[in-house]
Chains A and B, each alone.
Chain A
Amino acid sequence: MPGEEDVIRRWRSLVGARSESVVNVVEKGAVRKFAEAIDDMNPLYVDEEMAKSSRYGALLAPPTFPRTFEYGKIEGMVWPESGMIHGEHRIHFERPLRVGEVIICYTELKGYHEREGSDGILGFLVLERIGESLLGERIYTIEDTAIVTPSVRRSLKE
């Protein structure tokens, strides 16, 4: 019966593996819904007329919106059923993301490391999530860290 050590060995072996590319569209309706949900109805997110006459020439997506896209699956990756904690979120934009754009997204497992916590070993899975234009130009890079708590670790199985 494979257990936590097998899963962790798998994670370590998958460092550097990336998913297939997934096409996403920055949809006007999805951005409006998101702006409503974060209670930030900035005209540049929702008012098309205003946005057209702005320097951007189009509506923009909020800076936390890219986390909502599909990034594909890393083959062989095993995820705990539940209980992982979001530890960190980093995003770097080369330029603002515009509504209506078609973007190519993929993810890569950047690392797995551990630290001794007060209740046992804490694991840290670091995932990069990338958005590119159809021409292959980088638009943004996300780095998310997910924490594998000792109780999640005990629940791991392949």
Chain B
Amino acid sequence: MSEIEIARLAADGDEIAFAEIVRRFSPRVFSYSARFFRRQTLVEEAAQDVFLKAFTQLGNFEGRGSLEGWLTRITVTTCINILRSSKPQAEMTLSDLTDDESNWLEDRLMCVALVNHQTQEDKLIAADLIGRVLDGLAPEYAFLIQMLDGEGASVKEVSRSTGWTEAKIKTKAFRVRRKLRDSLLRLMNAKDGRLRRG
């Protein structure tokens, strides 16, 4: 059965058709939700919201693009809205870092050549630390930079996933790279200041 046929049946209240949509596209929806939330329970809640929204809006799906693309755009919008409505997190400061994290960051900045030869432990620290830095950014910025620089997605691919124009993506990418860089440098400058005072 084609996507448009399944979508029409589901829009008319056919539960089996909707269950088929959930079965087919859950991996995609969960995968995108996980780009926004680290806790699995939040990923699952977001995915539930996405399918609820999809169920109520299926009548609007006209089949001009793929159902997968349509659901991906709903996922991105839903996750951004959830994060926007939750309590905003302050930008990360030096006091949020443990001594070990602070030393790790300094070591890596001092020796960038080592960055591409990380141990497993390095990778875990890096992933956790950048996740917390990203938490201080607007959710669309955090998502965008993760897609472009973390996953190596092209501007075109991000545009298809989000519905944003390529110009908007390039402008936001420029801003968020600068923000990330400045955040890391601020953390390190604060550490230098603390060491000088200590």
Chain A partners chain B:
no
